[in-house]
Amino acid sequence: LGAGRRKMSSPATFLGPQRPIARRLSNVGIQARKFSHGLVFGSGPATAEIVCQGRALCAQYIRSRLKRNGLFTKKCGLQRLRSAATLPGGYVVRQVLPDLISVGTELERLHPKVYTNVGRQISPLPGGAATSEKALAAGMTSVAKELCRGHITWPMVVSVYAVAGGLAVDCVRAGHPEFMTALVDAMATALEEDMAGWIAENGGWVGLCSYCKPPSPDVSLGGVVALLGALIFTAFFLVLALRWFRV
């Protein structure tokens, strides 16, 4: 990880009225490169395997988010995906899940407004994206596509999972716990279309573990600074993406 010494641009720079939203999103994608991880990996696993593992990770992340909000019940229909050990690539899922939840939880803590009431932020429907499985899937895939339009980073990938967690909370609170399977399916679609290729090129899902754990104690402080900077920047990027869908 780099020392992350570059000064982050003010949020007002990206949210200023003088720039069209599409142009601001493009500029944010360019700036995000400054926070990209410096590791270079060899050839990664097949994208189909990435999607399968990512789908399982999504189910586990949703379970974690619902439990943290006191909303998880058997009606959520995630029992069949409960045991990551029974799935192809289960070892990778178990290895990556703690870091995925850790980074996602930090994003939610730093920017609770971004990852709360997500359904109403990304959909013009009266009840938000949590009103139907179709609206839910469309909102999930659209946000993922917008976030991944420019230069993808691990924080951006985790942001998509944090959005899924927020949508899961919205669905359960709206009385639709049965939408969880559709949400996981939408994540699989988003992975296949927009993220799996990049994840495979960057070491597969275990690349996230490398991103979160600096290889040397000598760079741990700089790594933490760079990671937090990337997390904060990603949150600003997500705010712009959410506003884009409301225009």
pLDDT, tens digit, 9 for 90 and up, residues 50-91: 999 999 999 999 999 999 988 887 666 665 555 544 555 688
Residue extents of the structural domains in the chain? 45-246
Contact 61, 101 (CB under 8 A): yes
The number of CA neighbours under 13 Å toward the Cβ of 125 is 16
What pLDDT, on a 0 to 100 scale, did the predictor assign at position 16?
A: 37
Instruction: Please report where in the chains the tokens 């949020």 appear, as a residue.
Output: 11
Give me the DSSP letters along 19-71. S-HHHHHHHHHHHHGGG-----------HHHHHHHHHHHHHHHHHHHHHHTT-
CATH class assigned to 45-246: mainly alpha
- CA pair distance 157, 171, nearest whole angstrom: 22
pLDDT tens track for 5-54? 444 333 333 233 434 434 444 444 444 443 343 333 344 568 899 999 99
Contact 199, 44 (CB under 8 A): yes
Total-model pTM: 0.72
Q: What angle do CA 36, 37, 43 make, to 5 degrees?
A: 115
What pLDDT, on a 0 to 100 scale, did the predictor assign at position 147?
A: 85
